[in-house]
Structure 1
Amino acid sequence: MIFKRFRIRHGSRHLRARVESCVNTILELDNYLGKGKIRPEIIQQFEKLKNSLQYVSDDSVDEKDIDRIEEATNQLLAEIRMSYGDDFPFSPFDGEKH
């Protein structure tokens, strides 16, 4: 029983870390590109999400919602890469695609 409970909590923290990664990636990209390059409404939504994460309990995180946030992040990154072409130098980290 203890291990099962730990595994569930560990998984939830992993899901929250995935959301935090998306949020931080977009906000860092906004700083990198300069204010106004990403629509302000999008940045405001990510800032609200970042501020609200501290109030989200581990057991209320749904993986489907996380998948949607990751997909939106990846779409935004793809659109920006298309706009800047192959010379797009921003990389939030070295590793796999977000």
Structure 2
Amino acid sequence: TEPSFEVDITCTVCKGTGFSGHPQGDQRQNGHPKGVRCKVCKSGWLELGGTGMVHPNVLREGGIDPKKYSGWAFGFGIERVIMMKYGLDDIRNYYSGDIRFLEQF
């Protein structure tokens, strides 16, 4: 992989357990909290920001000489913060173009 960096935060929906749907986070079954896998994070953590070097093949395919230029990509996942704030479980809703969904906000 190329050099990269990311910023992760604890999921507030499942309180960092990776599971949701359990009233007490300390109840355990087979080493995991009772409940179902958290639909927001699936692991207890959310990646908010990620950065990394663009692979030379990507530059090459874009018509850029990777021996002369390098690339750096970055992003910030504000959608995930909004998902936690409003208790949403599917990020694809933001990009569906469904005005009925967007009018809720």
TM-score by length of 1: 0.32
More helix by share: 1
More strand by share: 2
TM-score by length of 2: 0.30
Larger radius of gyration: 2
